[in-house]
């Protein structure tokens, strides 16, 4: 199934079954879902969470409980600046420096309370939490189609902040776990673990994680939009 068809199918089903949650509609975004908090708790009770001090998380609504749980547990959380549009393209949320954890887990609060940092200032990432539109138990992730999550991994890899051993996870609703194959590329980041409100799934991912930025697929417009890419672009 083509990725857009799969996205549309999942968005429709979440809405029609009443499992989508604010913001509405679920279409065109990483959809929030009933049980997002329970999925986050399942992740927080897992072995992949234990002993991790630094995570990278996406800013979307369904992963807000994960970000809150991480800060409450004393973990440093990095979030990408939207579209990597700034030279300091990540925000660092350090629980030791934050008084209002609940506010810090929101998009507006993270911008206010997070410290903008460049890649040279960041610590190595031990766990990556991604939002998803759809997930296959083979580890294939389908996002909303803009490619920023995969690009963020590639940029982090260029700076030695992630590698093949960096664990990748997602929290989703059961309806988002599909038995469908979709096209993948070497730039797609496979997911190691899926956490739903009721299941913990160790995926059968066999694809390697991206080795870095695939410069040949980036347009001049994309390079101009993202300062860090222009700065490290090979001559």
Phi, psi of 65 (to 5 degrees): -60, -30
Mean pLDDT of 12-21: 98
Res. 34 pLDDT band, cuts 50 70 90: very high
Residue 106 belongs to domain with CATH number: 3.40.50.10420
Cα separation of 55 and 128, whole Å? 6
Task: Enter the DSSP assignment of 115.
Answer: E
Domain that holds residue 41: 3-227
The per-residue pLDDT for 81 is 96
Residue 51 forms part of a structural domain: yes
The per-residue pLDDT for 174 is 98
The per-residue pLDDT for 151 is 97
* Burial (CB count within 10 angstroms: exposed 0-12, middle 13-18, buried 19+), residue 43: buried
% the chain with pLDDT above 70: 100
Cβ atoms 131, 63 nearer than 8 A: yes
Number of domains in the chain: 1
pTM over 0.85: yes
Which 3 state secondary structure label does DSSP give 175? helix
Residue 235 pLDDT exceeds 80: no
Residue 202 forms part of a structural domain: yes
Mean pLDDT of 10-35: 98
Residue 234 forms part of a structural domain: no
Instruction: Please give the torsion angle defined by the CA atoms of residues 213, 219, 221 and 224, in that order, rounded to the nearest 10 degrees.
Output: 40
Cα separation of 128 and 132, whole Å? 13
The per-residue pLDDT for 63 is 98
Helix axes 64-72, 36-44, angle to 10 degrees: 40
Q: What is the pLDDT of residues 167-212, one digit of tens each?
A: 999 999 999 999 988 888 999 999 999 999 999 999 999 889 999 9
Residue 101 forms part of a structural domain: yes
SS3 content of the chain, % helix, strand, coil (to 5): 35, 15, 45
SS3 readout for 63-94: HHHHHHHHHHCCCEEEEECHHHCCCCCEEEEC
Residue 232 forms part of a structural domain: no
Residue 233 forms part of a structural domain: no
The per-residue pLDDT for 183 is 84
Cα separation of 63 and 80, whole Å? 14
């Amino acid at each position: 199934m083509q990725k857009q068809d799969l996205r549309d199918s999942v968005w429709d089903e979440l809405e029609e079954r009443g499992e989508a949650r604010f913001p509405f509609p679920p279409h065109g975004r990483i959809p929030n879902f009933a049980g997002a908090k329970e999925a986050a708790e399942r992740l927080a009770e897992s072995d992949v969470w234990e002993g991790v001090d630094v995570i990278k998380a996406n800013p979307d609504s369904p992963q807000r409980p994960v970000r809150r749980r991480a800060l409450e547990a004393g973990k440093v959380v990095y979030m990408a600046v939207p579209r990597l549009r700034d030279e300091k393209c990540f925000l660092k949320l350090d629980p030791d420096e934050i008084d209002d954890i609940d506010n810090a887990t929101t998009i507006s609060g993270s911008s206010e309370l997070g410290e903008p940092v460049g890649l040279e200032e960041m610590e190595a990432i031990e766990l990556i939490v991604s939002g998803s539109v759809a997930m296959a138990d083979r580890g294939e992730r389908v996002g909303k189609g803009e490619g920023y999550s995969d690009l963020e991994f590639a940029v982090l890899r260029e700076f030695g902040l992630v590698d093949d051993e960096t664990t990748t996870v997602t929290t989703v609703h059961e309806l988002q776990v599909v038995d469908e194959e979709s096209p993948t590329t070497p730039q797609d980041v496979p997911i190691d673990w899926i956490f739903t409100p009721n299941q913990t799934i160790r995926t059968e991912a066999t694809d390697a994680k991206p080795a870095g930025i695939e410069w040949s697929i980036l347009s001049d417009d994309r390079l101009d939009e993202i300062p860090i890419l222009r700065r490290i672009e090979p001559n």
